[in-house]
């Protein structure tokens, strides 16, 4: 008489693996949704946004500081 018996430890492992697979699939689905909806299309603007100061006219932006020419003159 052979009976398939799983220990409580094995049951917990199977439960944790299945829960982790469900969570991984949810994260994959969220990532694919973000890519398809255009969340990652503009990767340059957020990196340089902090270099510009907002003026009263929201459409016009100017740099906070002009590039220094002293560094270029010292190198030559």
Residue 43 lies in a domain: yes
Residue 2 lies in a domain: no
Per-residue confidence (pLDDT) for residue 44, from 0 to 100: 78
Domain holding 18, by residue range, is: 8-75
CA distance 13 to 66: 60
Domain count for the chain, please give it.
1
Q: What is the pLDDT along the chain (76 residues), one digit of tens a residue?
A: 456 666 778 889 999 999 999 999 999 999 999 999 988 887 777 778 777 776 665 565 655 555 555 555 555 5
Residue 63 lies in a domain: yes
Residues 8-21: tens digit of each pLDDT: 788 899 999 999 99
Q: Where are the alpha helices (DSSP H) in the chain?
A: 8-36, 45-48, 70-75
Residue 1 lies in a domain: no
């Amino acid at each position: 008489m052979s009976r398939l018996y799983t220990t409580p430890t094995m049951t917990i492992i199977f439960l944790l693996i299945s829960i982790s697979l469900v969570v991984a699939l949810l994260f994959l689905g969220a990532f694919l949704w973000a890519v398809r909806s255009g969340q990652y299309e503009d990767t340059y603007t957020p990196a340089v946004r902090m270099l510009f100061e907002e003026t009263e006219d929201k459409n016009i932006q100017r740099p906070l500081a002009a590039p220094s020419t002293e560094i270029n003159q010292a190198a030559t």
